[in-house]
């Protein structure tokens, strides 16, 4: 089955950039073609779809997602980059593919 | 703009059946492209996909819950529903309905409801 691995936590300063990583099945190359989605979950809120990231690094964002959010890929890793960090970006970020979710990364904006 | 709204009891007794409905507005369930799904979230298990259904009634269930879950769709009301029977404390979670879009080698959820907390307790 598909396993999505995320670091439990990350932090960066207000105005800086941060890159979050989602690794498909511990780097096994057979999963290198999978697309994933990134979702943001602010405290006490439901998940919000941010974007889909394809294996070639292209990404398609959801409605109203700021340009500060972008996606990319390398092998079995899928990335979410947030630039010009704002306080409202402090949230949990989950990657997902089909019926599988990563454990989430808690982002703290310092 | 598509909106999904969960509804149903917030408290269910152990061994009984949890029943939730998702009402879709700003769009139609009648689409060959999308599936409709239930996902739950608990501190113990994180986000967990439960089941998905197409407008025509094709269903998929999480293996771990397959024996206890039924998902159904009522296109005339633009609603789909979840039944989870023989509930226990471990089924206490926030339940979300969501739209599932194809992604080539996988699918992704591209719209979410706000969620509803269901507590299993006597």
What is the C-alpha separation between A16 and B7, in angstroms, rounded?
40
Is B108 within 8 Å of A52 when comparing Cβ atoms? yes
Is B110 within 8 Å of A37 when comparing Cβ atoms? yes
In the block, which residue shows the tokens 């509804």? B7
Query: Would you state the pLDDT for residue B106?
Result: 74
Q: Please determine, for residue A57, whether its predicted confidence score (pLDDT) is greater than 70.
A: yes
Which segment of A24-28, A55-59, A69-73 scores lowest on mean pLDDT? Answer: A24-28
Is B46 within 8 Å of A104 when comparing Cβ atoms? yes
Q: What is the largest CA-CA distance in chain B?
A: 44
Q: Please determine, for residue A44, whether its predicted confidence score (pLDDT) is greater than 80.
A: yes
What residues contact residue B58 under an 8 Å CB cut-off, 6+ apart? Answer: none
Query: Would you state the pLDDT for residue B61?
Result: 97
- Three-class SS of residue B77? helix
Which segment of A51-55, A63-67, B27-31 scores lowest on mean pLDDT? Answer: B27-31
In B, which residues are within 8 Å of A33 by CB distance? Answer: 104-105
Burial (CB < 10 A; 0-12, 13-18, 19+), residue A65, is: middle
Higher pLDDT, B57 or A40: A40
On whether any CB of chain B is under 8 Å from the CB of A93, the answer is: no
- Chain segment A8-27, per-residue pLDDT in tens: 999 999 999 999 999 998 66
For chain A, the average pLDDT equals 94
In B, which residues are within 8 Å of A98 by CB distance? Answer: 49, 106-107
Joined together, the tokens standing for residue A13 give: 């300063």
Q: Please determine, for residue A81, whether its predicted confidence score (pLDDT) is greater than 90.
A: yes
Kindly give the parts of chain B with pLDDT less than 50.
none
Nearest CB to B105; choose among A35, A37, A104? A35
Query: Would you state the pLDDT for residue A87?
Result: 97
Query: Would you state the pLDDT for residue A26?
Result: 67
Is A46 within 8 Å of B46 when comparing Cβ atoms? no
Determine the distance from the C-alpha atom of residue A79 to the mean position of all C-alpha atoms in its chain, rounded to a whole number: 6
- Using the 8-state DSSP alphabet, how is residue B91 labeled? G
Which residue numbers of B have CB closer than 8 Å to A's CBs? 1, 46-49, 52, 60, 62, 94, 96, 101, 103-115
Contact A6, A20 (CB under 8 A): yes
In the block, which residue shows the tokens 């809120």? A45
Nearest CB to B110; choose among A45, A62, A94? A62
Query: Would you state the pLDDT for residue B32?
Result: 83
Burial (CB < 10 A; 0-12, 13-18, 19+), residue A7, is: middle
- From start to end of A1-110, where are the E strands? 4-6, 9-12, 18-24, 36-41, 48-53, 59-61, 69-74, 77-82, 91-97, 100-101, 105-109
Q: Please determine, for residue A61, whether its predicted confidence score (pLDDT) is greater than 80.
A: yes
What confidence category does residue A33 fall into, taking pLDDT thresholds of 50, 70 and 90?
A: confident
Query: Would you state the pLDDT for residue A83?
Result: 97
Instruction: Please state the three-class secondary structure of A27-58 as a single string.
Output: HCHHHCCCCEEEEEECCCCCCEEEEEECCCCC
Nearest CB to B47; choose among A2, A36, A101? A101
């Amino acid at each position: 089955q598909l396993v999505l691995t995320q670091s439990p936590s990350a932090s960066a300063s207000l105005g800086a950039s941060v890159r979050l990583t989602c690794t498909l099945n511990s780097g096994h190359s057979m999963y290198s073609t999978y697309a994933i989605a990134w979702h943001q979950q602010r405290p006490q809120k439901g998940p919000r779809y941010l974007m889909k990231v394809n294996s070639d690094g292209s990404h398609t964002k959801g409605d109203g997602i700021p340009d500060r959010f972008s996606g990319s890929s390398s092998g079995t890793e899928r990335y979410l980059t947030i630039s010009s960090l704002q306080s409202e970006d402090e949230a949990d970020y989950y990657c997902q593919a089909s019926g599988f979710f990563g454990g989430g990364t808690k982002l703290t904006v310092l | 703009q598509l909106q999904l709204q969960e509804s149903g009891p917030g408290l269910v007794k152990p061994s009984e059946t949890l029943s939730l409905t998702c009402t879709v507005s700003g769009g139609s369930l009648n689409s060959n492209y999308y599936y409709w799904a239930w996902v739950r979230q608990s501190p113990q298990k994180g986000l967990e996909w439960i089941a998905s259904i197409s407008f025509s009634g094709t269903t998929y269930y999480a293996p771990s819950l397959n024996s206890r879950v039924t998902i159904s769709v009522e296109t005339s009301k633009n609603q789909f529903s979840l039944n989870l029977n023989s509930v226990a404390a471990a089924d206490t979670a926030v339940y979300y309905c969501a739209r599932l879009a194809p992604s080539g080698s996988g699918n992704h959820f591209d719209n979410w409801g706000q969620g509803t907390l269901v507590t299993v307790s006597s």
